[in-house]
Amino acid sequence: MPAIVLTTFNARFSHPSMGLRCLLANLDVWRDQTRLIEFDLETRPEAAVETILAENPRLIGCGVYVWNTELVHRFATLLKILRPEVHLILGGPEAAHALDHHPLATIADHRVAGEGERIFAEICHTLLTHGAPLPKKIIAPPADLTTLRHPYDAYTSHDLAHRHLYVESSRGCPYRCAFCLSALDPEVRRFPLDPFLKAMADLLERGGRHFKFVDRTFNLGEAHATAILDFFLARIPEFPGIFLHFEMVPDRLTPGLKTRLAAFPAGTLQLELGIQSFDPAVLQTIDRHMDQTRAEENLRWLLTATQAHLHTDLIIGLPGEDLASFAQGFDRLFALGPHEIQVGILKQLAGTPLTALTGTEEMHFDPEPPYELLANRRIDFMTLRRLKRFARYWDLVGNSGRFPNTLRQAFRERSPFYTFLAFSDWLYATTGQTHQIALPRLTRLVQEGFGAQRTPAERSQLDQALEQDLQHQQRTEKKTDHHPPSRQMRHRP
């Protein structure tokens, strides 16, 4: 029976917890007495308690995130009713600030705020060996990345075959965007490169192919970034199926980075590029510094000179942004042609600088996770509800990549944002659903919704565009049937 169990509720099965593996790798003498047990959001808390209590642990470490806070609350409540003597330690992003006024803070024995690798090992040793008292909230200082053990050997063969592999080559972010938790860690620290690349080589040899880098701004240090890109470029012929995901700022692409990015073949590279807003006043208010002209130039270059899949981000409800300025930003980004535009609703994450702006902007947030904006002085509640449905339907129709010709035809000489908002309103009025819309039905709804109030000639053009999309889908599915992609490629984020 293990003395320690590390656990959490992951967002989905394909997303393993890197944080738990970081703790496990640095538990020193306690590692051999530790079991890692992961659940996902489909797991009932009582089932999780049953699974863990069957291990009869003396101490449980649990990761708390914005998506699982309420599940962990129920889990912790049941656990303490049944086994009050078991030490329950909470960590993760929500443990630092969000739990200050949450019942979880009372239920748990301790919680760790910050980078917990070293301090968690000390907590385990103190509680399991000496039984000495510890503070309820324990603040962990930033870890020395030169001394931490890498967590990658804790990825099992099952993880390698079926899940994303989260890796990190750096921590921290120099930008202080008001909405982001990374604003609390402005110093960028990098893991020593040689040991990191050796760990990546080991993962490749063991069968790892799908690497999602969690570095907040991968392209800040050119020498560090190009060394990692060169490492993977050299191994693509030997290890087919490699797929890499990096988060980058779009206005910082040096010639050296461009040379490497252009060399990656199709299907191997995805870049997440945070735009958030194109309104200069909004960007200044949230302390986000971005050269918009250069960002646009780089996006165009990436789309024409590389074969990378481009995932871009916009946020609804930023301080100073109204419906009209968001619409302009969406249309501007759509015109550039990225493969995905992820539209999110602003969230108030505890501890971020955004808290200081809530009064002047009259921002009201849902007190329950994920703490989304309900209304502000520029966008009322009813409009935000419409925009949340817009974001959901855009994922189904726009980001799915199934209807590119249809959308181009529907948006012809029209605002993409307002045209799709009208379709979104119609779709919700027609179905009353935002989920569980089967693809054949969705296709019919796309045809009907965009065809409404169009001339016969326009409807004919839309039908032709939709037929092209359907034929492309059929060719893609037929090709996939004969040449199935690797398991990792099917789990792209």
Q: Can you tell me the distance from the alpha carbon of 29 to that of 182, in angstroms, rounded to the nearest whole number?
A: 32
What is the percent of the chain where pLDDT is above 90? 85
- Over residues 383-393, the pLDDT tens digits come to 999 999 999 99
CATH code at 22?
3.40.50.280
Q: pTM of the prediction?
A: 0.91
Average pLDDT over residues 4-31: 97
**Given a cut of 80, is residue 479 above it in pLDDT?**
no
**Given a cut of 80, is residue 477 above it in pLDDT?**
no
**Given a cut of 70, is residue 493 above it in pLDDT?**
no
Q: 461 vs 219, 396, 444, 466, CA distance in Å?
A: 42, 22, 15, 9
- Residue 46 located in a structural domain: yes
Q: Among 397, 289, 381, which residue's Cα sits nearest to residue 343?
A: 397
Q: Which of 104, 139, 174 is the last residue of a domain?
A: 139
Confidence class for position 487, pLDDT limits 50, 70, 90:
very low
Burial class (CB in 10 A: 0-12, 13-18, 19+), 325: middle
Measure the N-to-C terminal CA separation of the chain; round to a whole number of Å.
36
Confidence class for position 245, pLDDT limits 50, 70, 90:
very high
- Residue 146 located in a structural domain: no
Sign of CA dihedral 352, 355, 361, 364: positive
Pair 311, 447 in one domain: no
**Beta-carbon neighbour count of residue 148 at 10 Å?**
17
- pLDDT value at position 478? 60
Identify the three-state secondary structure at position 10.
strand
Pair 248, 220 in one domain: yes
Pair 105, 203 in one domain: no
Q: 254 vs 169, 223, 261, 271, 272, CA distance in Å?
A: 19, 11, 11, 15, 17
Q: Is-contact 40 11, C-beta < 8 A?
A: yes
- pLDDT value at position 302? 98
Pair 11, 135 in one domain: yes
On the CB side of 337, CA atoms within 13 Å amount to: 11
Q: 420 vs 254, 355, 423, 465, CA distance in Å?
A: 36, 32, 5, 16
Q: Can you tell me the distance from the alpha carbon of 252 to that of 270, in angstroms, rounded to the nearest whole number?
A: 16
Average pLDDT over residues 286-290: 90
> To the nearest whole number, what is the mean pLDDT of the chain?
93
Confidence class for position 174, pLDDT limits 50, 70, 90:
confident
Q: Which of 325, 346, 379 is the last residue of a domain?
A: 379
Structure token pair of residue 192:
């020593």
- Over residues 419-458, the pLDDT tens digits come to 999 999 999 999 999 999 999 999 999 999 999 989 999 9
Overall domain count for the chain: 3
Confidence class for position 350, pLDDT limits 50, 70, 90:
confident
Tell the residue number behind the tokens 């605002």, with chain if given: 415
Pair 161, 245 in one domain: yes
**Given a cut of 90, is residue 401 above it in pLDDT?**
yes
**Given a cut of 50, is residue 369 above it in pLDDT?**
yes
Structure token pair of residue 270:
């995805």
- Residue 343 located in a structural domain: yes
Pair 225, 300 in one domain: yes
Q: Can you tell me the distance from the alpha carbon of 101 to that of 466, in angstroms, rounded to the nearest whole number?
A: 51
Q: Which of 139, 168, 188 is the last residue of a domain?
A: 139
Pair 10, 128 in one domain: yes
- pLDDT value at position 270? 98
**Given a cut of 70, is residue 2 above it in pLDDT?**
yes
Confidence class for position 481, pLDDT limits 50, 70, 90:
very low
Identify the three-state secondary structure at position 368.
coil
**Given a cut of 80, is residue 224 above it in pLDDT?**
yes
Pair 372, 424 in one domain: no
Pair 16, 122 in one domain: yes
Structure token pair of residue 189:
């620290």
Structure token pair of residue 443:
């296709």
Domain that holds residue 45: 4-139
H or E, element range at 23: helix 18-25
- Give the alpha-carbon dihedral of 433, 435, 437, 439, to 10 degrees: 140
Contacts 24+ apart (CB under 8 A), 363-366: 363/317, 363/319
Pair 473, 427 in one domain: yes
